[in-house]
């Protein structure tokens, strides 16, 4: 379902250490490069996989690569199936738009027709449990409410691959249970879930396997509990 072969993502920096594109780096002097992830190899089937590692280890880069937000600069990464993403608590939401408007907007961008996205709005409202807030600008939402809306929209496209980056950590307990149910449904239907975060008990509920990343490279890959123990030992936890 998701196969990475020597996958790498490279970043270019100008002399002020701001990220620039590869083309801009070619025409500017004093640019440097750094690999966000490199030589990453794995195959993910129908399962839940957690990405573990300290901040800056490449978890977000890898999730964005899986989501198609980044393109591999080296090697390949293929992900077959409808992908839903929650890569930040912003979840692609515009603060000035209402929950309803954001849900319609994101639904269409995620691949639904305008008609399908419109038809799904009441279900998004029900699932997100936002009540009257659904008609208010997202700028007035808490992080948890944004995550709930993002997750409810993601659910509408019936994802085969769900990619989560710490967003689940902003959810309240009731919604964590909902997320857990969704994750298990996706996996039961033959899909995959990849999640990164620092809330290990929560990740343990979603994932049976873990990949430990350090400095952009895979240092361990196996059963969640084994890799978690190895990771914590490596950071002195």
Sign, Cα dihedral of 172, 178, 181, 185: negative
Q: Which is nearer to another protein, 109 or 232 (CB)?
A: 109
Q: How far is the CB of 51 from another protein (least distance, A)?
A: 17
Binding flags for another protein, 53-72, as an x/- string (CB under 8 A): -----------x--xxxxx-
Per DSSP bridges, beta strands 161-165 and 192-196 are parallel
Q: Which is nearer to another protein, 114 or 126 (CB)?
A: 114
Which of 88, 180, 214, 217: binder of another protein (CB under 8 A)? 88
Q: Tell me how many residues contact another protein (CB under 8 A).
A: 34
CB 152 within 8 A of CB 107: no
Residues 5-64 close enough to bind another protein by CB under 8 A: 9, 11, 19-24, 64
- Residues whose CB is less than 8 angstroms from the CB of residue 236 and which lie 6 or more positions away in sequence, other chains included: none
- Closest among 229, 157, 171, 161 to 200, alpha carbons compared: 229
Query: What DSSP designation does 91 have?
Result: T
Helix (H, G, I), strand (E, B) or coil at 224: helix
Binding flags for another protein, 90-109, as an x/- string (CB under 8 A): xxxxx-xx---x--xxx-xx
Positions in the binding site for another protein (CB under 8 A)? 9, 11, 19-24, 64, 67-71, 83, 85-88, 90-94, 96-97, 101, 104-106, 108-110, 114
């Amino acid at each position: 379902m998701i196969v990475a072969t020597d996958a790498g993502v490279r970043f270019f920096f100008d002399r002020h250490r701001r990220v620039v594109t590869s083309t801009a780096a070619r025409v500017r002097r004093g640019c440097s490069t750094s690999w966000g992830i490199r030589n990453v190899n794995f195959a993910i089937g129908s399962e839940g996989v957690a990405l573990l590692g300290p901040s800056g280890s490449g978890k977000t880069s890898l999730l964005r690569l899986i989501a198609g937000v980044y393109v591999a600069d080296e090697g390949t990464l293929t992900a077959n199936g409808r992908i839903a993403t929650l890569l930040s608590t912003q979840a692609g939401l515009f603060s000035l738009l209402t929950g309803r408007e954001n849900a319609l907007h994101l639904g269409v961008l995620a691949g639904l027709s305008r008609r399908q996205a419109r038809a799904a709005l009441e279900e998004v409202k029900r699932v997100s449990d936002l009540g009257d807030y659904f008609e208010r600008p997202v700028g007035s939402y808490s992080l948890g409410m944004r995550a709930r809306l993002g997750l409810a929209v993601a659910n509408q496209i019936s994802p085969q691959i769900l990619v989560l980056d710490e967003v689940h950590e902003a959810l309240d307990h009731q919604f964590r249970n909902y997320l857990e149910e969704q994750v298990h449904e996706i996996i039961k239907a033959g899909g995959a879930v990849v999640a990164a975060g620092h809330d290990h008990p929560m990740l343990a509920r979603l994932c049976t396997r873990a990949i430990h990343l350090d400095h952009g490279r895979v240092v361990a890959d196996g059963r969640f509990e084994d890799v978690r123990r190895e990771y914590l030992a490596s950071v002195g936890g």
